Amino acid sequence: MSERADLQGRHIVLGLSGGIACYKSAELVRLLTKAGATVQVVMTEAAEAFITPVTMQALSGRKVYTSQWDAREANNMPHINLGREADAIVVAPASADFIAKLAQGRADELLSLMCLARPREACPLIVVPAMNREMWSHPATQRNVAQLVSDGASVFGPGSGDQACGEVGDGRMLEPEEILADLIAFFQPKQLQGRRLLITAGPTFEPIDPVRGITNHSSGKMGFAIARAAAERGAQVTLVAGPVHLSTPRGVQRIDVMTAQQMFDTVLPLAAQHEVFIATAAVADWRPATLAEHKIKKDGKKLAPSFELTENPDILAAVASLAVPPYCVGFAAESEHLLEHARAKLQRKRVPLIVGNLGPATFGKDDNALLLVDAEHARPLPADGTSADKLTLARELMAELARRLPARR
């Protein structure tokens, strides 16, 4: 699969203040450019003690700015020009000293000058803190961060864990992959701001004995993509996941379950607390009526063991039948006659929207093609009837969902 160009056409000014986390900024530049962005690096004198401008120039493909007196600008005003060209200024790492400088409006070198002189409506400021845990928790730093947020800046992180000084705690800079994900989300439209979404994803696993079980080929990728796309658009997302090996999307609360009954028992109490329920999970329709205490072994007679099956609870129908149900979106993974089966499921479950797809063609894969079915219409997603990567589809689906949801009271 080709690299996603989620930042295509974006121009990012990446500012580095002094700190050992500057080594992460090199990887961040690489990730930003792979995502389609152009990157202009600006470094403080302290940052140059940790990583060289040569390194950052090689990775960004642009000459690095380090001085407010840089004569390469025709008007000798890099602090003005660089901010006018940027879609965002990202300071990563942002040291305690640099955060204090920003909070106080001090501007004695190029990076702080540029942050102060940027057109605030057109060029947002994003600060990614990196410092020792005691420095981060100090009341002065917390006051300064609060002042920055009050002044309109956004703060990514910090993370928690091992620090260069040997201590452990809050204050370390987010990993480059986390910063990239947060920056991509930052630019997504916030059509679902404050909405509460409950999403199920992945397969379920119904044990036969302590070793074997009944499951399916669902990878959970579509459900996880929807959770990410919803969170990017400002939603508060709870993701109930069957047994999958996928990373939790940024900003998403995840609850892991194994069986259909566990998923049912988890979803039902939560459903009334959410405005939207999206049933993406491929839930097993049946489970063994009894669980063998020990592994079922061959008996030498070449006879397959038999066991009775019992029906699992219908999660989507149960949520749709609540006294005050959330807006319910069901998924129909079919092997044939997609529209016919999706329409039947829409009527049977009594939900406003069914998203159909051909399961064998998409399970485990990164691409998909969807069919949106409501009481009156059916239309493909993508609109041209081809396939697209699952995150792109998830973002389009969330945009469609935002249009369909009733206005909040």
- With a CB cutoff of 8 Å and minimum separation 6, the contacts of 400 are 372, 381
Q: Specify the DSSP element, H or E, that contains 240.
A: strand 236-241
Tell me: cis bond preceding 93? Omega within 30 of 0 counts: yes
Concerning whether 22 is annotated as a catalytic residue, the answer is no
From the CB of residue 62, how many other CB atoms can be counted at a distance below 10 Å? 13
Closest CA to 120 of 69, 158, 154: 154
Tell me the DSSP string of 321-385.
TSSSPPEEEEEEEESS-HHHHHHHHHHHHT-SEEEEEEHHHHTT-SEE-EEEE-SS-EEEESTTS
- Contact 165/130 with Cβ under 8 angstroms? no
From the CB of residue 203, how many other CB atoms can be counted at a distance below 10 Å? 23
**What is the 8-class DSSP label of residue 98?**
H
Number of helices (H), then strands (E), in the chain = 14, 21
- The one catalytic residue among 22, 115, 123, 165: 165
Which residues does the annotation mark as catalytic? 165
